[in-house]
Amino acid sequence: MIEKHDVRSVSLEGLTEKNLSAFNSFIKTLREFEVPEGDGVIDLFLKEQYRRDCLQMGAAAQLEISAMLESVLPLESAEAFEKANPVGKDGKVRFDKDGEEKREDEMIKILMKEKGISVIVLGGGHDLSDRMKLSSVQYVRVSSKQYEGVSRH
């Protein structure tokens, strides 16, 4: 899809203007890191840490690290993202449906500012289909067979 549709960037859930600089700094660090070739204890540790860091950053970040994407863009408003956080200061989890809907509305506002094809990366719990019908865009939701199987149970 990247080559066929000339996709140069992806918008990422959880990424805001507020944390974009830290995200980009870590991408730069991972891109410049020279993975050791040896099999000594330190080399193996560094290889494993690099692998874990890349996994934690996610697919969009890995595509930017490998230069297949030019950039990963914020999909979130920091304020809406923080308000929708289900983990309270007391550590208890409370899902706020209104907060989550406002968060998704903010995502759409951000997306509508982009031109051309927009690719977004969201967790499976999000489905913007209903909200996107209100605008003049085509929304295609893609998920893996593994996720579909797990999410039904």
The b/e string for 118-127 (b: 16+ C-beta within 10 A; e otherwise) is bbbbbeeeee
Mean pLDDT, the chain cut into blocks of 10 residues (153 residues total): 82 94 97 96 97 95 94 94 88 89 90 82 80 70 74 63
Distance CA 83, CA 87 (A): 10
pLDDT of 134 = 62
Residue found under tokens 């999000």: 126
Which stretches of 3-152 are assigned E, i.e. beta strand?
9-16, 71-76, 120-121
Query: Which amino acid is residue 53, in one-letter code?
Result: D
- Nearest Cα to 71, choosing from 18, 31, 104? 31
Contact 73/11 with Cβ under 8 angstroms?
A: yes
